[in-house]
Structure 1
Amino acid sequence: MQRLPLLLLPLLALAGCDQQPSTQAIPEVSDANCTLEVIKQIEDRAARAEFAGQCSRRSGAIQPTEQPKNWLELNSSQG
């Protein structure tokens, strides 16, 4: 009866051991690197999500509209 805990203790200790997650270096955020092809090449899912998020928040990612439309004026003209 006392042998069972002695045998289970090493098994539980080994079961808790896990490989450390591999941290893949993400490329520098730039116009050349923020393309779909480069993002797809990043294998680590967390690193890919982080890099894609940084690309979407970089300055100049979304260009301002040159001639914005006023939706209230467009809707009021219809009726």
Structure 2
Amino acid sequence: MKRMNILMLAICVASLLDGCDKKSVQQAMPEVNEENCQLEKIMQITDKAMREQFGGLCSRRPTGILPTENPKNWLELTNSKTKG
């Protein structure tokens, strides 16, 4: 009976300590802007999944290039040069 009590005590202590993980503190994702999207800042994010997600968001942010107002069809431009 004494062995059973010691075993149960050991199981209880192990199960209580199992949840004490220091990595469980989640780092907040920084704001996507010019300053935070530098490679040095991205590499400072310790969580790999969050770093990859943040890097993807940085790569998709608008860079200030306006869309073409009058787009050209390259096939039509090359065909007109070969015909004439």
TM-score scaled to structure 1, two decimals?
0.52
- Return the match for 2:51 from 48, 52, 57: 48
CA drift at 1:23: 1.4
Whether contact under 8 Å (1:29, 1:51) holds in the other structure is yes
Cα distance, 1:62 vs structure 2: 8.9
Unaligned runs of 5+ in 2: 68-73, 79-84
Q: Does 1:34 align with 2:37?
A: yes
The higher relative CO (CA closer than 8 Å, separation ≥ 6) is in 1
* Aligned residues of 1:55 and 1:61 also touching (Cα < 8 A): no
Match of 1:57 in 2: 60
Larger Rg: 2
Return the TM-score normalized by structure 2: 0.50
Q: Which structure dedicates a bigger proportion of its chain to helix? A: 2
Q: Which runs of 5+ in 1 are unaligned?
A: 74-79
CA distance in 2, matches of 1:61, 1:46: 28
Return the offset for 1:48: 1.6
The separation in 2 between residues aligned to 1:16 and 1:61, in whole angstroms, is: 50
Percentage of identical aligned residues: 37
Report the AA paired with residue 9 of structure 1. I
- The alpha-carbon deviation at position 8 of structure 1 amounts to 4.7
Residue-pair matches, total:
71
Q: Which runs of 4+ in 1 moved over 6 A?
A: 61-64
